[in-house]
Chains A and B, each alone.
Chain A
Amino acid sequence: DQQVKQNSPSLSVQEGRISILNCDYTNSMFDYFLWYKKYPAEGPTFLISISSIKDKNEDGRFTVFLNKSAKHLSLHIVPSQPGDSAVYFCAASSIQGAQKLVFGQGTRLTINP
Chain B
Amino acid sequence: DADVTQTPRNRITKTGKRIMLECSQTKGHDRMYWYRQDPGLGLRLIYYSFDVKDINKGEISDGYSVSRQAQAKFSLSLESAIPNQTALYFCATSAEGAQGYTFGSGTRLTVV
Contacts and interface: CB of A to CB of B under 8 A. Distances in A.
Interface stretch (B13-21, B63-71, B76-84, B98-106): B98-106
29 contacts: A4-B42, A6-B42, A9-B40, A32-B99, A34-B99, A42-B105, A43-B4, A43-B90, A43-B92, A43-B103, A43-B105, A43-B106, A44-B43, A46-B101, A46-B102, A49-B100, A91-B43, A93-B99, A99-B98, A99-B99, A100-B33, A100-B48, A101-B100, A101-B101, A103-B35, A103-B44, A104-B42, A105-B40, A105-B41
Which 8 pairs from chain A and chain B are nearest by CB? A43-B103, A103-B43, A105-B42, A103-B42, A46-B100, A43-B105, A44-B103, A32-B99
Given A9-B40, A43-B104, A44-B43, A99 B97 contact: yes
Interface residues of A, number: 25
Nearest to B94: A99
A49 B94 CA distance: 15
Nearest to B45: A100
Interface residues of B, number: 25
Contacts of A34: 99-100
Nearest to A31: B99
B48 A106 contact: no
Interface of A: 4, 6, 9, 32, 34, 36, 41-46, 49, 89, 91, 93, 98-106
A34 B100 CA distance: 8
Q: Which of A43, A102, A106 has the most CB of B within 10 A?
A: A43
